[in-house]
Amino acid sequence: MKSKISTWKVVVYLLLVIFALFSILPFYWMITTSFKTPAESITVPPTWIPRTVSLSSYKTVLTKISFPRYMYISFITAILTIAGSLLTALLAAYAFSWIQFKGRDVIFMGFLSLMMVPMPVYIIPLFLVVQRLGWLDTLQVMIVPWTVSIFSIFLLRQNMRTIPKDLYDAAVIDGCSRLRFLFQIIVPLIRPAITTMVIFEFISSWNTFMWPLMVINKDRLRPIQVGLAYFAQGETTNYPALMAASTLAIFPLVILFFIAQRQIIESYARTGLKE
Amino acid sequence: MQSSRREILYGLLFLLPAIVILLVFKVLPILLAFNISFHEWGIAGDKGFVGLQNYKFLLKDRYFWQALWNTVMYTVFSVPLSILIALLLAYLLNQNIKAVGFFRTVYFLPVVTSLVAVSVVWKWLYNPQRGLFNAILSFFHLSPLKWLEEPRGIFEMITGRDLPFFLEGPSLALFALVILSVWKSLGYNIVIFIAGLKNISETYYEAARIDGAGRWQIIKDVMLPLLSPTTFYVLIMTTISSFQVFAPVWMMTGPPTGGPLGKTSVVIYYLYRKGYEEYQVGYGSAIAFVFFVIILIITIYQRKVSEKRVYYEV
């Protein structure tokens, strides 16, 4: 009996390790290739551990191509998108959970059905709209259309609904306005939900690709993913430089992931959101 | 509560920013898409209403059908693969093992990374001459594969026969994208399955064990039925997101055609090519609407099936 259990455990760990290697391998290969010299990167058979650790591909990516610029654009875009969608979501979620008025549920249903329309369905007319506004090749074109996340509104609404109603009555007696009540009393109470929202928004904003690919042409306005995509289209032989560029493109997210790992995984598990 | 005029005012005021932005950047484009799909609208601008012409053309456009077929193949292979592996790993991680956190982190890492960056990496792994995968194959004395450049179907390659196109299976190029998608989505599905497994009360398992059920029987008759709402949820989400695959196709196999002989061209990639690159706005919008209808049908169908089959805990 005892030995049977341990055989089972061996099988379990073996399977877990095999798939862990499958998950890790591309990252391992990305990082080790990025440190190789171009000559070493194409040896057959390949080397598992770089013979020489060379930083020159990082130097190439950081100086010859405007990678720092791309990252800066992505950061600015992400921060402003988060700020905008946090504001719209807080206000809307508050209206949906704390203010009783006629037509509220109809509007709510409208939001719900809008959430079901995938972005590719309307991306081409959206392009025409921003073109008409003269927004092509601007910073705001990457920000303003995405400052409302219906998912975030729902997330915050679910959390606001759990707050007892008496709180508001007490606040009103103390002469608290609706806005002050929202920002000074509700916001601190739903901070975990706000953190979840900010994490999701950052990840999706940092990784966004199709939209900026369509609306941004100028190199100096390219966000990181588009910059990387164009770099990869042009550069087809310098593999260490390509891998260094990819490493840099996922670096902020990996750092964020290791800092807030538990929170991120639990956020995904709780809300079941898919990018 | 009586809804006073003041309350209505406040409610609308608070909703105003969200509503305005949604109207301009979502509702208006959706309506436009529907309208434009009945127009001939190309580089020369709007040439006016043409009725169903775009849709009629779509029915005869073999590149569209190829893209749709590829999308279906991609989904049919990546979704079950991802779900099965995720289910297995979630089950294993739920077995009181050590280092659960470590494994969970490792599996989850691909989820947060960008599709563009990992596409660059996987394209390098798949490189026919210098890539790691072919190096591993040759280490085991297997012949190298062309991976992303291989238009032949995987079943055709395995059996070595000429098969009718619907039995060929996805081209190896498309299947290479399937592997990437499984790799990328695995961690997310595992985390959702673990959450689902945690919701199943230990008493069910105990009862089954007392009745003398073996491990496999418990999995089959207790765990899977109780887990089916979660499985259903994962199925919907993974299917819908599979249908929208774009970045890996653009990054790894296109442009211009989307893979060898168009074998990895998928619906959204085709939509992007027609509606944006070739600026056939009218035709692109027709593709967009057909795509939307397909997504709606999948959602409705899956709902119907789930109402019948999915077991809900009472």
Helix (H) or strand (E) holding A207: helix A191-207
**Interchain CB contacts (distance < 8 Å): A and B:** 263
Predicted local confidence at residue A173, as pLDDT:
77
pLDDT of residue A207: 95
Would you list the domain boundaries of chain A? 2-54, 58-271
| B299 pLDDT more than 60 | yes
Q: Residue B171: phi, psi to the nearest 5?
A: -60, 155
Residue A205 has pLDDT above 60, yes or no: yes
Contacts of A69 (CB under 8 A, 6+ apart): A220, A222, A227
Using the Cβ of A125 and the Cβ atoms of chain B, whether some distance falls under 8 Å is answered with yes
Q: In angstroms, what separates the C-alpha of A20 from chain B's closest C-alpha?
A: 6
pLDDT of residue B138: 93
Which among B34, B49, B64 is the end of a domain?
B49
- pLDDT score for A111: 94
Residues B110 and B37 in one domain: no
Q: Using CA atoms in the order B172, B268, B118, A116, what is the torsion angle rounded to 10 degrees?
A: -120
Contacts of B24 in chain A (CB under 8 A): 129
Q: What is the DSSP string of A68-114?
A: HHHHHHHHHHHHHHHHHHHHHHHHHHHHHHH---TTHHHHHHHHHHH
Q: What pLDDT digit, counting tens, does each position of A50-82 carry?
A: 998 999 999 999 998 889 999 999 999 999 999
Does residue B314 lie within any of the structural domains? no
Same domain as B80, residue B13:
no
* Residue B18, token pair as written in the block: 């969200």
Q: Is the pLDDT of residue A247 over 50?
A: yes
Say whether A16 and B89 touch across the interface (CB within 8 A): yes
Q: What is the pLDDT of residue B1?
A: 45
Q: Is the pLDDT of residue A130 over 90?
A: yes
B257 vs A225, higher pLDDT: A225
Give the Cα separation of A216 and A143 in Å (integer): 12
Q: What's the pLDDT at A273?
A: 54
Strands (E), B127-211: none
With a CB cutoff of 8 Å and minimum separation 6, the contacts of A11 are none
Contact A248/A30 with Cβ under 8 angstroms? no
- B112 pairs with which residues across the strands? none
Residues in CB range of A195: below 8 A, 6 or more apart: A263, A267
Q: Per-residue pLDDT for B310 more than 60?
A: no
Question: Helix (H, G, I), strand (E, B), or coil: what is residue A209?
Answer: coil
Residues B82 and B38 in one domain: no
Residue from B108, B147, B154, B153 nearest B124 by CA = B147
**Chain A contacts of B14, Cβ < 8 Å?**
91-92, 94-95, 99, 178
A275 in contact with chain B, both atoms CB, cutoff 8 A? yes
Q: What pLDDT does residue A3 have? A: 58
Q: What is the pLDDT of residues A36-49, one digit of tens each?
A: 999 999 998 899 99
Q: B150 and B27 in one domain?
A: no
> Is residue B69 located within the same domain as residue B14?
no
| Per-residue pLDDT band at A274 (split at 50, 70, 90) | very low
Any chain B CB within 8 A of the CB of A20?
yes
Q: How far apart are CA A126 and CA B295, in angstroms?
A: 20
Whether the CB of A95 is below 8 Å from some CB of chain B: the reply is yes
* Homologous superfamily of domain range A58-271: MetI-like (1.10.3720.10)
The answer to whether position B91 is within a domain reads yes
Tell me how crowded residue A174 is: count the other CB atoms within 10 A of its CB: 9
In this structure, are B203 and B243 located in the same domain?
yes
Q: Does the pLDDT at position B12 exceed 80?
A: yes
- Give residue B31's pLDDT: 95
Check pLDDT > 50 for residue B279. Answer: yes
**Shared domain check, B13 and B74:** no
Look up the domain containing B27 and give its range: 5-49
Q: Is the pTM higher than 0.90?
A: yes
Least confident of B81-90, B144-153, B217-226, B301-310: B301-310
Specify if B130 maps to a domain: yes
CA B218 from chain center: how many Å?
Answer: 31
As a whole number of angstroms, the distance between CA A192 and CA A194 comes to 5
Q: Are residues B167 and B244 in the same domain?
A: yes
Mutate: best of B121, B141, B219, partner A, most A CBs <10 A: B121
Asked if residue B246 and residue B142 are part of one domain, the reply reads yes
Residue pLDDT, tens place only, A135-156: 999 999 999 999 999 999 999 9
Q: State yes or no: pLDDT of B116 exceeds 60.
A: yes
**In the beta sheet, which residues pair with residue B46?**
B41
Q: Are residues B32 and B158 both part of a single domain?
A: no
CA neighbor of A144 nearest in space, from A156, A164, A129? A129
What's the rounded mean pLDDT across residues B42-63?
Answer: 92
Please tell me the total count of domains within chain B.
2
Mean pLDDT, chain A, rounded, equals 91
* Percent of chain A scoring above 70 in pLDDT: 97
Across A145-166, b (16+ Cβ under 10 Å) vs e yields: bbbbbbbbbbbbbebbeeeeee
CB contact A147 to B (< 8 Å) = yes
Q: Do B17 and A87 touch (CB under 8 A)?
A: yes
| Whether pLDDT at B260 is above 70 | yes
| pLDDT per position as a tens digit, B124-173 | 999 999 999 999 999 999 999 999 999 999 999 999 888 888 888 999 99
pLDDT in tens, B229-245: 889 889 888 999 999 99
Lowest model confidence (mean pLDDT) among A265-269, B58-62, B197-201, B256-260: B256-260
**pLDDT at residue B181, as a whole number:** 97
Angle in degrees, CA A13, A15, A18, rounded to 5: 105
Band of the pLDDT at A103, cuts 50, 70, 90? confident
Residues B90 and B42 in one domain: no
CB contact under 8 A, A45 and B285: no
Q: Is A175 on the interface with B (CB under 8 A)?
A: no
Q: Which long-range CB contacts under 8 A does A253-260 form with residues at least 24 apart? A: A253/A203, A253/A206, A253/A207, A253/B112, A253/B113, A253/B114, A254/B109, A254/B112, A254/B113, A256/A199, A256/A202, A256/A203, A256/B112, A257/B108, A257/B109, A257/B112, A260/A199
Q: How confident is the model at residue B306 (pLDDT cuts 50, 70, 90)?
A: low
Kindly report, residue by residue over B70-110, the tens digit of the pLDDT: 999 999 999 999 999 999 999 999 988 889 999 999 999 99
Partner residue opposite B121 with nearest CB, options A26, A104, A147: A26
- pLDDT tier, B305 (very low <50, low <70, confident <90, very high otherwise): confident
**Residue A207 C-alpha, separation from nearest chain B C-alpha, in angstroms:** 5
Q: Are residues B40 and B142 in the same domain?
A: no
Dihedrals φ, ψ of B160, to 5°?
A: 70, 20
How far is Cα A216 from Cα A144, in angstroms, rounded to an integer? 14
- Residue B3: the pLDDT is 55
Interface contact flag, B22 A148, Cβ < 8 Å:
yes
Q: What is the structure's pLDDT at B314?
A: 37
Contact B11 A122 (CB under 8 A): no
Separation between Cα atoms, residue B245 and residue B223, nearest integer Å: 32
CATH number, domain of B144, equals 1.10.3720.10
**Cβ atoms A30, B121 nearer than 8 A:** yes
Residues of B whose CB is below 8 A from A42: 129-130
Query: Per-residue confidence at A272, pLDDT binned at 50, 70, 90?
Result: low
Say what percent of chain B tops pLDDT 70: 96
